[in-house]
Amino acid sequence: MHTRTGVLAFILIGAFQWSSHGSARADVFTPPDDIRFRRVDILSEGVRLAGEVFGARRAAAAWGSDTISGWPHTAPGAFIGETRAPVQREDRTRNVVKPLLKNDRPAYNTDRRPRPEARSRDLSPRIGFAPEGARVAMKIHDIETFLVNIGGQNRVLVRVLTDEHIHGTGEAYCVGPDEATVQAIRYFKEWLIGQDPFRIEYLWRLLYNGSRYPGGSVLTAAISGIELALWDLKGKALHVPVYQLLGGRCRDAVRIYTGAGTVDQAKQAVDRGFTAIKMGPQPAGGDRMPWGKVLAEAARTMESMRKALGDEIDIALDPHAKIFESARAVELAEAVRPYRPLFLEEAVRPENVKAMARVRRKTTVPIATGEQLYTKYQFHDVMAGEAADILQPDLCIVGGLREAKKIAAEAEANCLTLAPHNPLGPVATAACVHFAASTPNFVILEYVDPGQSGPLREMVLEPMKRKGGYLEIPDTPGLGIELDLNAIQNYPPRPWRRGPVFEVDGNIGFI
């Protein structure tokens, strides 16, 4: 204690003696015009005087310096052996030299102990401020795309590579044509080469704002795939799961549901441990049926499903945005309401928020939407219009993880929950698991079982682990997913398109 008090006293004496050369007043320091002062000189003088009494090494250790030569102090973000003199700025109103602040903290180290990050030089990438030339940020070196056919559609996979041999994996939505999404990613690649991959928000704005025109499905799918890969990369570089970078876990597992078109399929899902299923309420061929018959069949199907599964299993319904008029959507909702559906997904087309809001106001069945919406801006319109109870952003097209988190925050303030749309495969599922793990108003996740073989299972080394009706939350760095580059070569892309739907009079309906 006496030693540290003595050190501080000598430092203050040195600082006073040194500063008094430039001013006759003790309370205001006026530097001579021919000298550029740096606070490190004040500290060096004080430490030198203290060293004469207590010994150089002991004084330096008391102050928190990591070297003796030159009496440096550790600047924020600097590493052992590196020194940095804080930049000075002059307050011309009072003629007082002040230290430049970084994040409202002094640019010099006010902690006497060595900074924790200063103990190691092998951080990858190095974080914080350091002397010019000392901090070498990781740089994006290349971006790879892979089109993998899964039997019908293709899957658009993305890898971001760096000059430090760390890579991240993501997935872009297959909106069709998939080649357009691939070309958009390659177009953005030229913007990203040489950039710091840790600056995810900055790079998102570079791609989205830099495109000027509001992005449609192809553009936002490309941005989403890149953004997800950046999060995977950052988690790997920092040796932490991605959810730790998003606020940490707020739950211990992620609840999921699976698709079931018939009662038998639903029973099989329950036998496998699922606690929720989703089905289409309209009968097969409903696009060519009289509306009254569609309503009757929907009610009978839902009644039989509820009787077979009991009240312990949640049943979600997806009309698939095929209904155009809000009045008919209300009729459908009321027909199935007695059987307590978990939600009614895309009851009407998403283009008209007011039409969706009319449906929500006239039924107590929870209305869900979001798979065809992009970015926080379109979701804001839904929330402002009070058009939905449950939001369903797809991380592979909405703009990525960070964009989905922004949507979730506004939804939480509006007492809304989220059930992410997730019909793709194991890479998208991994991203959704980290989102769900760190989002308090998440409720349930759509899940496609990759199975034991085939392209969905073989495109990754190890998918997310399912335990009954839940997915385990991984503790591996990044998203916890890795592509099998050899296996995906066995599933080259094929041309595909969504076929049109024809109504009974030949008019083209909605898919």
Residues acting as catalytic residues: 320, 421
Please state, in angstroms and rounded to a whole number, the distance separating the CA atoms of residues 265 and 288: 25
Q: What angle do CA 9, 42, 1 make, to 5 degrees?
A: 25
Cβ(431)–Cβ(225) below 8 Å: no
Nearest to 480 by CA among 430, 442, 435, 423: 430
Cis status of the peptide bond prior to 450, with omega within 30 of 0: no
Nearest to 237 by CA among 199, 194, 191, 211: 199
Cβ(131)–Cβ(75) below 8 Å: yes
CA atoms within 13 A on the CB side of 336: 33
Cβ(374)–Cβ(215) below 8 Å: yes
Cβ(65)–Cβ(73) below 8 Å: yes
Cβ(125)–Cβ(198) below 8 Å: yes
257-264 long-range contacts (CB < 8 A, ≥24 apart) are 257/314, 257/316, 257/342, 257/444, 257/445, 257/446, 257/447, 257/469, 258/447, 258/448, 258/449, 263/304, 263/305, 263/308
Both tokens assigned to 398: 């909405």
Pairing of strands 276-279, 314-317: parallel
Burial 338-375 (b: 16+ CB within 10 A, else e): ebebbbbbbbbbbeebebbbbbbeebebbbbbbbbbbb
Residues in a beta bridge with 472: 253
What distance, in Å, lies between the first and last C-alpha atoms of the chain?
A: 77
CA atoms within 13 A on the CB side of 8: 7
**Residue type at 426 in one-letter notation:** P
Cβ(430)–Cβ(420) below 8 Å: no
Pairing of strands 367-369, 344-345: parallel
